[in-house]
Structure 1
Amino acid sequence: MSNPLLENFNTPFDTIPFRKIKNEHFLPAFIEGIRLAKEEIALLTESTEPATFENTVVALEASGNKVDLISNIFFNLNSAETSDDMQALAKDISPLLSEFSNDVMLNEALFKKVKLVYETADKTKLDEESLTLLEKTYKGFVRNGANLQEDKKERLRSIDKEISVLGQQYGENVLKETNAFSMEVADEKELDGLPDFVKEAAAETAKEKGKEGVWIFTLQYPSYIPFMTYSANRELRKKMFMAYGSRSFKGNEFDNQEVVKKLVQLRFERAQLLGYPTHAHFVLEERMAETPEKVNEFLTDILAISQPATLKDVEELTAYAKKLDGLDKIERWDFAYYSEKLKKEKYEVDDELLKPYFQLEKVIDGVFKVAEKLFGIHFVENKEIDRYHPEVLVYEVRNDKNELVAIFYADFFPREGKRGGAWMTVFRQQKKVNGEDKRPHISIVCSFTKPTKSTPSLLTSNEVQTLFHEFGHALHGMLAKGNYGSLSGTNVYWDFVELPSQILENWTLEKDCLDLFARHYKTGQAIPADLVQRLKESANFQAGYATTRQVAFGMLDMAYHGVDPSGIKDIGEFEKALFEKMEVLPQVKETNMSCQFSHIFNGGYSSGYYSYKWAEVLDADAFEFFKEKGIFNSEVAGKFKDNILSKGGSEHPMILYKKFRGREPDPKALLRRAGLLKK
């Protein structure tokens, strides 16, 4: 059987021929790809030539290309267009890859050569990027057990395989629980408060499920968030909240409590094997924050300022709910509803007012224009390039010289085969091969409200920020100009990777930016200046509550990974004990964050969730620089492109940031922007 994954693609720009690829192609392709990679490494280790940076470190970097490509394709599809068959395949493939990775990292002959180069290479003859690759390669072996005794290496292999399987299981459980729930409403009176666009989308969902004359709401973001924000029916809000918050915490076949306990214990054991006190110590050695102590100090300092503001936010909202509807206390399923009403009353702005100005197609065009004005790149849709789903859009990205910069895939709407949320990912990383610059193939995946028969896809202001956020990540990948794929684009310290994404969100509150795309989808009228001003003023509404919530999630992550977790017997009680120190709303015992906290248990953010706040310091400080000079200032944009976006992980992020900003970031910039500190 011919296998398109193992053949030359012969497609425009070597893009992936998705329509030719079937599920049955993946496992044989992985097996063959791993075999080829092992041959490449055998040639490297058996060579009798003296080990050098080029013939050892660079050669190792260049090995396994086929495995990398197939992995990118498979796991991206497993997130964006999965099926039961694909999820079953993942359970076989993940341990294979884990074993292969360990075969490389625990290869004594290979490590011996890498170590020799690391200790003897003339580092004065290597540029900064090559020095970083050498350091990263050597540390990669050490941090993956190369110095361990044989019995401990075997235990490490076993742990890595089990962690890989458990992570997949965790994600599948959350997805299945999300898809399993739907709430059918037959009486339109029960939809009081919901805008027409929400009701229309719910009617469309019902039709898709073969039902007429009813409305169906799901736990997908575009359904769940608007319902919780606008529904005046408190009982139905509670029903939706309980369904969402109890995902994988019901003691059923999709329960994640035991998965969480096993994962944190295995991560701890792995760190101990490698000589680290905890998993967090292991992870943070390769982060800007460096240690769990620094992370906890960072989060505690923010909490000290945000918590008093949080109490005021909740007191204000409680008084408002009592005045409006006679509530003596607000519950968690009330918060979004009364917040939206209070925000509208205070600032005369809400998503119903804003959404008509945020038609998806125009927002896409707007973010493209921002990239053009800042970085001189242009986006041209190419309908000939294959895609993995009919809804996916594909663009050629070109510079002012009409040279190809990247291929860009964009996937905007929720599906049952797509996990919730939004993310940026890579199908092909930028790198240089035999002097040729291989340009990257980048993708963003979102879950926005679909268009209906009468209304185009209209975004909330938060969704506009989400699109700009993921596009910021995409720019980091698209504008990469490195030599080595493992240091290119978003392959940077985890607490630095959110800078390019989070800084771009700032443009969504600036009139000069909004004028590029924010036009009423019916009248074509530009968004009024006074509405933009009210939107901007409302941006810090309940900033204390939002900040404390993020800090709490960061602290939960560190509580699992910064200590010996063997004392954690009950996930619900453990989480409750931690959160009650910070929570200002009544806890709901049937719900649990840990069992659906995919970021840290299935998304690479373990011991790294704090990085959102860490990167907010960077982005707030960096955007102050843009504000000083002008948000489309070419000099500042050029510095950001040349020192941040194009450099990837070629140098330490603080060095890169100081080259851009001229100094280290000011930690108070974040609190100034959030209105929690006087300017």
Structure 2
Amino acid sequence: MRNLLFTVLIAVPMMNLDAQNTNPLLNDWKGKYGGVPAFSEYKVSQFRSAVDVAIADKLREIDVIATLPTPPSFENTIAAMERSGKRLSHIKAIFDIYSSNLNTPEFEAVEADITPKFSEVNNQMYQNKKLFDRIAAVYKSAEMKKLTPEQKRLVTVYYQNFVREGALADPKSKTRIAEINKELAGLFTKFSQNQLADENNLYLALQTEADFDGLPKELADAARSEAKERHLQALGCIANTRSSIEPFLTFSNRRDLREQAFRIFVSRGDNDNANNNNATLVKILKLRAEKAKLLGFKTFADWSLSNTMAQKPQRTLDLMLSVWEPAVLKVREDVAEMQKIVAAEGNSFAIEPWDYRYYAEKVRKSKYDVDANQIKPYLQMEKLREGMFWVAGEIFNLNFKQVYDVPVFHPDVRVWEVSNKTTGKVVGLWYFDPYARKGKRSGAWMTAYREQSRFDGEVMTIVSNNCNFIKGAEGEPILISWDDASTLFHEFGHALHGLCSNVNYPLLSGTNTPRDYVEFPSQILERWLATPEVLNRFALHYQTGAPMPMDLVNRIEAAATFNEGFSTVETISSALVDMQLHLLENPEIDPKDFEAKTLYSLHMPHEIVMRHRIPQFGHIFSGDDYAAGYYGYLWADAISADATEAFTVDGKGLYDKEVAKRLLKHVFSVGNTVDPEVSYPLFRGKKSTTDALMRARNFPIK
């Protein structure tokens, strides 16, 4: 390994200088705000050479740290590691933006080549014995007692990360772990590309005006626009993404077309074509199981949870199953109400998965006098974005100002400068990419292009929110559903977690927390959407400009827990299947058979399918971040529900300034500088329980 590394490094300087003169990806980010990506200068063809140079740079930097003749110290080892690899971090951020937002056939080929290289550089770093020996020396040194709490935390995280990735393994195991990591990286890319291909290439064509029956105007307009964009000989097109399929399933009066749309969506990655993901995901599971054993763990789930709040798989199962039974009972009650409406309409069919959203809307309207089509005219995406900014100002004292001199990667993207309202200090940039398009993965997410830090000079964060809202007719406002509005606030919560970060070291910054804690800040921010303060100011009718009537606001509040059974079952079934997959010691399975048997054992209501079926479960098969970790949404929501009661039960309401100050101080600003088991009770005054979660979902508390 040492000789190979030396050979690579002495061969690099000419290529480095040459590439740096001609490849914009290798340039430092320049301009205001501590520098920003120069998106207008980048080309897909530049990635291969840029990544090679940046990897060589990082390997050189860590080799210098590892071979220093001076004794290991926090400054020359740990702080030096925080300084290393900046160029590679910047290029990786751009690469990930292309992967998620601009994925073309040209980029797919580049992605397949490059992704394993990121894994290789991590392997070389984590398996560098001299480097680990220095980190371990600092971790066990007398100097630790003199360090600040944040520095101690940083040393501990570095040490634990290296151990977790095999730094203490024997040489033979290290070699095999490196091989597995490289192979997994390629399989993750293959899985993602297959899923994206089925989303891009499969769709439901609407051939006649009758096919539009029941669709709200904005959904019908979007379908017509989609058909034109795809150059189809059809009147309309429902794209194979959640943002298109779910509204269609909710409103279409055509049961036959609802079934077609449903089957297209749930079959992604599971079709008899080149994009079938079943063989790929089984390979991933086998490699993960093998890696876990090499690292000294019984299963991949045990390894994956070793650096989380939950720690052990059984704790996650206990939580999920405690919520599962009341959720299933609630679904049974809701389906019975739906069947009454089916009968009243003169039909005798049993509710199927493609009927659930459609009849749930009818029950909601009948039971609470709340009609999604009555709400939607008040939910303009841009007004809700303004509402998010207002909430951020009220809770975290932030101000957002749109700027026009920052390069963007697509014309749809806009940028805001974020500053402290009191001091005027700029704390970061927020990029907003709201619309669906070909080559963009489905769903919604937050990304940090650069982490906040200050140990080596002030570095402000750059974050983005990316969504998949459907563009309507030219010049008309984008109207979104209540669920989409909740998602908008959720992802903005992640962005605020990054923008509020106030730490010294990038590894501990922003959202770099344990996986089952990171969803807590985003989930609690959803609570502000339904407040009268937001709805009265920003839920304005797109035609009249009138605020949402208080009567409707009150009815929305009364129906707040309606359909919680469905959403809970849909999500937890995915989380339970994820955990069971990764508890397998020998995952030689047929995915479809495993999925069916696992759900049968749980008494899964046949009217609902998993939110993410196994062959399209990108959270767990496009990377390791959420593998054996999808439970984290429920885990974090239990914390979020408890934290909400700090405002609504123990405080003066969701706009209580004192509680908000504690939330900022102990949650949103601290990143991973403090163990969540310590920081959360500092905010709340006690540890969280599941009682608040059960109350929030209107489930009985045992």
Identify the TM-score tier after normalising by the shorter chain.
over 0.9
Greater CA deviation, 208-217 or 88-97?
A: 208-217
- The Cα of 1:223 is off from its aligned counterpart by 2.0
AA aligned to 1:152 is S
* 3-state DSSP of counterpart to 1:396: strand
Distance, in Å, in 1 between the alignment partners of 2:613 and 2:387 is 35
Give the direction of change, closer, same or farther, for the CA distance of 1:660–1:160 in structure 2 (3 Å limit).
same
Residues in 2 aligned to 1:35 and 1:252: alpha-carbon distance in whole angstroms? 39
SS of the counterpart of 1:432? coil
- One-letter amino acid of the counterpart of residue 201, structure 1: A
Partner Cα separation in structure 2 for residue 513 and residue 626 of structure 1: 16
Q: Is the 8 A contact 1:365 1:517 kept in 2?
A: yes
Deviations 1:503-552 (A, max 9, x none): 01111111122223111111111111111111122221121232122221
Q: TM-score, normalised by structure 2?
A: 0.94
The answer to whether the 8 Å contact 2:380/2:478 transfers is yes
Q: What residue identity is the alignment partner of 1:614?
A: W
Q: Deviations over 1:572-618 (max 9, x none)?
A: 111000112232126899x9810001111115210111111111111
Q: Sort the Cα spacing of 1:212 and 1:575 in 2 relative to 1 into closer, same or farther, 3 A.
A: closer
Q: What CA deviation, in whole Å up to 9, does each residue of 1:81-140 have, x standing for no partner?
A: 211111211111111111111101001111111111111243221222111111111111
Aligned ranges for residues 540-579 of structure 1 at < 5 Å? Answer: 540-568=561-589, 570-579=590-599
1:90 and 2:90 correspond: no
Q: CA deviation at 1:238?
A: 0.8
Deviations 1:41-96 (A, max 9, x none): 12212211111111111111221111111101111221012111112111111111
Contact kept? 2:139, 2:159, Cα under 8 Å: yes
Amino acid at match of 2:690: P
Q: Quick one: which of 462, 472, 483 aligns to 2:493?
A: 472
CA distance in 1, matches of 2:85, 2:28: 16
Find the partner of 1:185 among 206, 225, 231: 206
1:281 equivalent among 291, 296, 302: 302
Alignment partner, residue 172 of structure 2: 151
SS for the counterpart of 1:437 is coil
After TM superposition, the structure 1 stretch with the greater mean CA deviation from structure 2, 20-29 or 321-330, is 321-330
Equivalent in the alignment of 1:408: 430
In 2, distance between residues paired with 1:612 and 1:529?
A: 31
Q: Which amino acid counterpart does residue 416 of structure 1 have in structure 2? A: K
Q: Is the 8 A contact 1:369 1:516 kept in 2?
A: no
Q: Identify if the C-alpha distance between structure 1 residues 352 and 588 changes in structure 2 by more than 3 Å, giving closer, same or farther.
A: closer
Q: CA deviation at 1:469?
A: 0.3
Deviation at 1:311, TM superposition (A): 1.8
Unaligned runs of 5+ in 1: none
Amino acid at match of 1:376: N
Contact 1:249 1:592 in 2 (8 A): no
User: Which one-letter code corresponds to 1:673 in the other structure?
Assistant: A
Comparing 214-223 and 591-600, the one that deviates more: 591-600
1:650 aligns with 673
Which residue of structure 2 lines up, in the alignment, with residue 425 of structure 1?
447
1:124 to 123, 145, 155: 145
**Equivalent residue letter for 1:437:** E
Classify the secondary structure of the residue corresponding to 2:307.
Answer: coil
Secondary structure of the 1:248 match is coil
CA distance in 1, matches of 2:243, 2:568: 23
Q: Which residue of 1 aligns with 2:163?
A: 142
Q: Aligned pair 1:10/2:33, yes or no?
A: no
3-state DSSP class of the match of 1:495?
A: helix
Shift of 1:8: 2.7
Q: Which moved more, 1:177-186 or 1:224-233?
A: 177-186
Q: Are 2:485 and 1:485 aligned?
A: no
Q: Could you say what secondary structure the match of 1:635 adopts?
A: helix
The aligned runs of 1:450-529 (5 Å cut-off) are 450-453=471-474, 455-529=476-550
- Looking at structure 1, the residues matched to 203 and 577 of structure 2 have their Cα atoms a distance apart, in angstroms, of 29
SS at match of 2:538: coil
Instruction: Deviation per CA, 1:216-250: give whole Å up to 9, x if none.
Output: 22112332111111111111111111111111112
Task: Name the TM-score, length of structure 1 as normaliser.
Answer: 0.97
- SS of structure 1 residue aligned to 2:512: coil
RMSD of equivalent CA atoms: 1.7
Quote the residue 2:11 is aligned against: none
Q: State the secondary structure of the residue aligned to 1:446.
A: strand
Contact 1:292 1:558 (8 Å CA) reproduced: yes
Q: What residue identity is the alignment partner of 1:653?
A: P
Determine the structure 2 residue equivalent to 1:328: 349
Distance 1:592 1:33 in 2: 36
Out of 664, 671, 676, the position equivalent to 2:694 is 671
Provide closer, same or farther for how the CA distance between residues 633 and 67 of structure 1 changes in structure 2, counting only shifts above 3 A: same
The answer as to whether partners of 1:548 and 1:582 remain within 8 angstroms in 2 is: no
Equivalent-residue separation in structure 2 for 1:528 and 1:565 (angstroms): 57
SS of 2:139's equivalent in the other structure is helix
Give the Cα–Cα distance (whole angstroms) in 1 for the partners of residues 213 and 554 of structure 2: 30
Aligned to 2:377: 356
1:670 to partner: Cα distance: 0.6
* Residue 628 (structure 2) aligns with: 607
Match of 2:72 among 44, 51, 55: 51
| 1:72-83 matched pairs, under 5 angstroms | 72-83=93-104
- What fraction of aligned residue pairs are identical, expressed as a percent? 35
Task: Give the Cα–Cα distance (whole angstroms) in 2 for the partners of residues 69 and 440 of structure 1.
Answer: 12
- CA shift, 1:642, in A, is 1.0
Deviation at 1:322, TM superposition (A): 2.4
Indicate yes or no: 2:681 matched with 1:661.
no
| CA distance in structure 2 between the partners assigned to 1:499 and 1:585 by the alignment | 30
Distance 1:566 1:202, change over 3 A: closer
**Alignment partner, residue 319 of structure 1:** 340
Q: Structure 2: 5+ residue runs without aligned partners?
A: 1-20
Kept after mapping to 2: 8 A contact 1:572/1:592: no
Residues 196-215 of structure 1 correspond to what in structure 2 (within 5 A)? 196-211=217-232, 214-215=235-236
Q: Is the 8 A contact 1:552 1:582 kept in 2?
A: no
Q: Could you tell me how far apart the structure 2 residues matched to 1:173 and 1:32 are? A: 29
Does 1:170 find its partner at 2:191?
yes
Q: Distance in 1 between matches of 2:192 and 2:617?
A: 9
1:639 to 649, 662, 668: 662
Deviations 1:250-308 (A, max 9, x none): 23210000111111111111010000011111111111111011111111111133222
Given that 1:246 and 1:592 are in contact with CA atoms closer than 8 Å, whether structure 2 keeps it comes out as no
Distance 1:164 1:613 in 2: 27
Between the aligned partners of 1:178 and 1:307, the Cα distance in structure 2 is 30
For residue 317 of structure 1, report the CA deviation from its aligned partner. Answer: 1.8
Task: State how far apart, in whole Å, the 2-side matches of 1:114 and 1:371 are.
Answer: 39
Structure 1 position 327, deviation (Å): 2.8
Distance (whole Å) between structure 2 residues aligned to residue 552 and residue 17 of structure 1: 42
CA distance in 2, matches of 1:606, 1:133: 24
CA 338–40 in structure 1, closer or farther in 2 if over 3 Å, else same: same
Deviation at 1:190, TM superposition (A): 2.6
**1:596 pairs with 2:616:** yes
Moved more, 620-629 or 209-218: 209-218
Secondary structure of residue in 2 paired with 1:578: helix
Instruction: State the one-letter code of the partner of 1:310.
Output: V
SS at match of 1:381: strand
Q: Distance in 2 between matches of 1:325 and 1:62?
A: 69
State the SS of the aligned residue for 2:301.
helix
| Other-structure match for 2:6 | none
Deviation at 1:186, TM superposition (A): 2.4
Which of 447, 450, 466 is the aligned partner of 2:468? 447
The answer to whether the 8 A contact 2:196-2:441 is kept is: yes
Instruction: Report the Cα distance in structure 1 between the residues aligned to 2:664 and 2:656, rounded to whole angstroms.
Output: 12
Give 3-state SS (helix, strand or coil) of 2:546's partner: coil
Number of equivalences: 676
Separation in 1, partners of 2:91, 2:191: 23
Note the C-alpha offset of 1:213.
Answer: 6.8
Match of 1:210, SS?
coil
